[in-house]
Structure 1
Amino acid sequence: MNIKKHIPNTITLLNLLCGCIALVFVSHDRFEMAFFFVCLGIFLDFFDGFFARLFKVSGPLGLQLDSLADMVTSGVVPGFVMFKMMQSSSVYMSEGYLQFFPYLGFIITLGSCFRLAKFNIDTRQTDSFIGLPTPANALFILSLPLVLEYYSAESLMVLEILTEKWVLLLVSLFSAYILNAEIPLFSLKIKKFNFKDNALQIIFLAISVLLLFFLQYLGVTLVILFYVLLSVINNKFLKK
């Protein structure tokens, strides 16, 4: 029995387990623990591919497992988080059609599913991404309730924005759009060890570290937005 060939798929299944555990924590409004397990799942998601290449056991089964695990960890979990946030913002809407409003948070899950299916058949995304990857989108969405929890006491604006149901709907729609938008995002891989060829990546990583160090969870939100914005600027101006 070749144990090596089962290691990548086992890591992928652990990613799926992390997503399932995160769902349980979200159901109990324990968003920080959910964030932790999603981060752990994303970490495992990186290493399943690494070990598959290392042991030369890549195959169609691993590809399908990876997408299915990501669908839970980076698709269902953020959709459920948005559902819970919308539910909290809509507690007074117990009657009429607005009682179904929180379910619109699962637009994120639908967008993630479409993104993952498209990614499996898109040969253009081997070295970089077109549209925001589902793990990055998941971190963005899961950071929102934590920003609300840790910053709303300091900033009334944060409280007003992240508890407004229509703002949350716009965030959900934006999330589904940016996952599938035909927007090339620059690769974070450093292939040549010199500043000139990697200036964009180095600047992004340096600013990201500062944002995360000083702003913690708010830094996560800003890093993802900064990544998309910098990619758009790079596509429009810097490449020229």
Structure 2
Amino acid sequence: MKIIVLLMSLAAFLLVTLPGPLYKSGIVELGTAFAGFKYAVIAGIAALILLIIQMLFKRKTVTFTSAAVAIIFSLVAIIMPLKMMSTANNVPAIHDVSTDMTTPPEFVAIAPLRADAPNPAAYAGIETARKQREAYPELQTLQYSQPKAELVAAVEQAANNLGWQLVNTDSRSGLIEATDATMWFGFKDDVVVRVEDTGEERLVDIRSKSRMGKSDLGKNAERITAFIKELDAVLSQ
């Protein structure tokens, strides 16, 4: 029974950890990858139930090491999908986030790269803006005193520091475009940063949009927040 428990918990662990890399490498489709999460939870619960039965009726076959491994693998398989579900329930179901929701920065060089993406390059609209205001009121246009050229260079440096792939930099218009990929599944999200000179100050707006998926699980807002922090760090050097 110990072997069955270990194999079940291992299967659960693999069902929750492998879908991302397998999808990223093109071995499985997204639907199959997400289905793995559901079966991981089922397998993880089943493994814990079998472990309890083993401890009740075949206590002599239980060792600390085997029980610990089974519990850890099973809990990982159960907690990870549930955590994703919890995140999805606590963030708005949007995939387009911008510090300027009235006239959001537009994708130019990146637009052709999104031609076949489920989510078009155009801004997602009024309802998305409303949900963003409620969830992320802190994301607003940034104001700086540095010259426009210095800000453009700092934006490029911050993007490079964050590991983004720069696609285009138009210093004259103050537009910087880049692509970022999520670590686990490798989902591609696009970012456009706009630097405007009003004469008295420089305004910086950032927009991050997923190429696919109705909800980004908060990733785009998280990315913009990280970028703002990195940009301020670059400018303070």
Query: What's the TM-score, normalizing by structure 1?
Result: 0.30
More helix, by proportion = 1
From the two aligned structures, give the one with the greater strand fraction.
Answer: 2
Structure showing greater Rg: 2
What is the TM-score normalised by the length of structure 2?
A: 0.30
